Amino acid sequence: MSLDYKFEGWLGHDPSSAKGKMQWGFFEPKEWEETDVDIKISHCGICGTDLHNLRSGWGPTIYPCCVGHEIVGNAIRVGSKVEGIHIGDRVGVGAQCDSCCERDCEECSSGNENYCPRKWIGTYNAIHKNGGKSYGGYATYNRSPSRFVFKIPDAIESKHAAPMLCAGITTYAPLKRNNCGPGTKVGIIGFGGLGHFGLMWAKALGAEVTVISRKSDKKDDAFEMGATKFIATAEEENWAIRNAGSLNMIFSILSSSKLPYPEYLSLLCKDGTFIQFGVPEDGPLTIPAISLVMKRVKMTGSLIGSPSEIREMLQFAAENVIKPWVKELPMKDANQAIVDMTDGKARYRYVLVN
Amino acid sequence: MSLDYKFEGWLGHDPSSAKGKMQWGFFEPKEWEETDVDIKISHCGICGTDLHNLRSGWGPTIYPCCVGHEIVGNAIRVGSKVEGIHIGDRVGVGAQCDSCCERDCEECSSGNENYCPRKWIGTYNAIHKNGGKSYGGYATYNRSPSRFVFKIPDAIESKHAAPMLCAGITTYAPLKRNNCGPGTKVGIIGFGGLGHFGLMWAKALGAEVTVISRKSDKKDDAFEMGATKFIATAEEENWAIRNAGSLNMIFSILSSSKLPYPEYLSLLCKDGTFIQFGVPEDGPLTIPAISLVMKRVKMTGSLIGSPSEIREMLQFAAENVIKPWVKELPMKDANQAIVDMTDGKARYRYVLVN
């Protein structure tokens, strides 16, 4: 079958591409299988992971690499073995586009495909089971296995749905798993794309949310989104002592190992949970054992969400009218957008639009 | 009231005391209150914490200091306000001898006195609520508030009960709290006083236990105590890869920050729990964020146990005939005993006997 559309996108050819030097070009999607969906991309969010990958920050990237894993668009080709998706449907793809999906895989068979230990296939910079390479959403089209293609509820605009597929689910899943609800006091360290989602989900789940940031420049935004408290660590003396033991759960979204982890941990009450999202490129976290021992706090991490959690989140977002703060930018400006993202200018998510 | 007995014990006068230079001498116990119990000490276990304190390893110690917080003996004086303990009873005291005990303390009022944030009074090297200093069990007598004095079940010999009061409860409490039972696969890193208790409790609770040690010299002991697997990390190539994802829960009892934490964490399966007991003097733990993120493992700590957990443990030990491996040594040989303990010679707990 010869297609009447071409896969083109912004390609990183080496680590310098992360500095706004991606080049537009064609790429060859994985060989078609009847379980696949081709998507005409309308929107793609810009995630911090895109930058890590463009610059080979987490290990050597397979260049050329087209990043972007907050993809929304319309299904324009649907394999004969695909269930529940039809040509024309508005659909999305997140950070993972396939897993082993074998019945004898404990994770895949129990709906935890995002922890599949055998084949965790990223939406870009990965090799599909059939040997093809995966390419992301800073592009015209995307081809992904249908198990990881999600229908977008009508109530959610595409520009809002796109960032939900990575930033959204990454924060939604651990809140639900850790029983966030009325009475829970959540702290958000790192108030950006993921952080502002965390605030909105937690608020919608009934929790009180404290935003913890270096400076107070995002304070008004945080309160507008529903925060009940804001701590500016660079501006408030003794912030750790004054707020000690005040939180049940902390989301740490920053990607640096040079952070005051002992002070952050001191904000937790007994049996509190510290959830790490970022994977710093600059080294391991340094955690004083005493912080863990004295209040029995738990330090853990979280990795996106499963397909079933993504479906649940989309439903929750539709019902609770969750609207992330996004700025739409034309796809042609992707290079400038990743530079601005690196500089921390996003308030709070850039979404590229075709 | 003039007593017909004197409080005497081994006193550390400076950090060199940890090298076997404690000196025998009198000490003044806290001023008597009618909620107190005086104990004629028969047995006292030697805990690693004793060494940390003698050498001011966790901060300046209040010298002179008499260490020892695995105390068993007979009540020889019982305050008029004490309930449930009578003169002559065989009783014990663990690492904590008091807390604020206020009704408005969330921890004390909920039976979590071991996490009391207001007044956590150690059995030695601490100041009592009435201003007196606390002295431990390398001594003839001990005076402690009765809320933290426990009756020893008849079925448990004193030499076995003593180490249960710190090493025992420290490992028993987190196993119970983390639902250790049939099907649980527990790993024990650091097979000494605490570690061998962890093995015996876990086994009695129905779990399978893997002991993880540098060398294989304790392998026979571990199997004799009920271990199902032994990993000698210094002797087995690729031990981490070959055993990846095989454990649900790991007890890390070593007190060093220079350990292969990424490899240890890799032994856990998804949602596994890593429990840190030791508080290294040589710096914080260095934990790669990726270890937490990729398998959602939890890192946490644990601090002894509450009075109610101690009572439960003693009952469990009596019913399940738990017998730690101890070596009894005369109280007069305490200095040699702490030197041997430091050198790792204990198999697996020294107990000083008067």
* Eight-class DSSP state of B29: P
What CATH number is given for A8-157+323-353 in this structure? 3.90.180.10
pLDDT range class, residue A277, cuts 50, 70, 90: confident
Angle at B323 between CA B317 and CA B326, to 5 degrees: 135
pLDDT range class, residue A95, cuts 50, 70, 90: very high
Q: What is the mean pLDDT of residues A38-43?
A: 98
B295–chain A Cβ distance below 8 A for any pair: yes
The partner residue sitting opposite A280, judged by closest CB among B277, B289, B296, is: B289
- Inter-chain residue contact B279 with A293, CB threshold 8 Å: yes
pLDDT given for residue A1 in this prediction: 59
| Dihedral-angle region of residue A8 (phi above 0 means left; psi in -120 to 50 means alpha; beta otherwise) | beta
**Packed helices B169-177 and B307-320: angle between N→C axes, nearest 10 degrees:** 90
- Inter-chain residue contact A293 with B276, CB threshold 8 Å: yes
**Packed helices B193-204 and B307-320: angle between N→C axes, nearest 10 degrees:** 70
Q: How many CA atoms lie within 13 A of B304 on its CB side?
A: 28
pLDDT given for residue A280 in this prediction: 83
Residues of A in contact with B96 (CB under 8 A): none
ipTM: 0.86
- Inter-chain residue contact A284 with B280, CB threshold 8 Å: no
Q: Residue B351: which of B27, B9, B42, B26 has the closest Cα?
A: B42
- Inter-chain residue contact B270 with A302, CB threshold 8 Å: no
Q: Tell me the domain boundaries of chain B.
A: 8-157+323-353, 167-301
pLDDT given for residue B282 in this prediction: 82
Tell me the pLDDT tens digit for each residue of A47-72: 999 999 999 998 999 999 999 999 99
Tell me the pLDDT tens digit for each residue of A215-254: 999 999 999 999 999 999 999 999 999 999 999 999 999 8
What CATH number is given for A168-301 in this structure? 3.40.50.720
- Inter-chain residue contact A301 with B278, CB threshold 8 Å: no
Looking at every residue in chain A, the average pLDDT score rounds to 96
CB B182 within 8 A of CB B335: no
pLDDT given for residue A42 in this prediction: 98
Residue B2 contacts by C-beta under 8 Å, 6 or more apart in sequence?
A: none
Residue of A112, A170, A285 to mutate when probing chain B, most B C-beta within 10 A: A285
CB A215 within 8 A of CB A235: yes
Task: Determine which helix (DSSP H) or strand (DSSP E) holds B340, and give its type and residue range.
Answer: helix B334-342
Is domain B167-301 in CATH 3.40.50.720, yes or no? Answer: yes
Distances (CA, A) of A94 to A67, A122, A151, A175, B148: 12, 9, 12, 18, 54
Q: Residue B49: which of B64, B75, B69 has the closest Cα?
A: B69
User: Which chain A residue has the Cα nearest residue B285?
Assistant: A287
Q: Please give, one letter per residue, the 3-state secondary structure of chain A.
A: CCCCCCCEEEEECCHHHHHCCCEEEECCCCCCCCCEEEEEEEEEECCHHHHHHHCCECECCCCCECCCCCEEEEEEEECCCCCCCCCCCEEEECCEEECCCCCCCHHHHCCCHHHCCCCCEECCCCECCCCCECCCCCECEEEEEHHHEEECCCCCCHHHHHHHHHHHHHHHHHHHHCCCCCCCEEEEECCCHHHHHHHHHHHHCCCEEEEEECCCCCHHHHHHHCCCEEEECCCCCCHHHHCCCCEEEEEECCCCCCCCHHHHHHCEEEEEEEEECCCCCCCCEEECHHHHHHHCCEEEECCCCCHHHHHHHHHHHHHCCCCCCEEEEEHHHHHHHHHHHHCCCCCCEEEEEC
pLDDT given for residue B1 in this prediction: 60
| Dihedral-angle region of residue B131 (phi above 0 means left; psi in -120 to 50 means alpha; beta otherwise) | left
Task: Determine which helix (DSSP H) or strand (DSSP E) holds B349, and give its type and residue range.
Answer: strand B349-353
Beta partners for A297? none
pLDDT range class, residue A279, cuts 50, 70, 90: confident
- Inter-chain residue contact B289 with A301, CB threshold 8 Å: yes
pLDDT, block means (10 residues), chain B with 354 residues: 88 97 98 98 97 94 98 98 98 98 94 94 97 98 98 98 98 96 97 96 98 96 98 96 96 87 94 90 86 91 95 98 98 98 95 98
pLDDT given for residue B125 in this prediction: 97
B182–chain A Cβ distance below 8 A for any pair: no
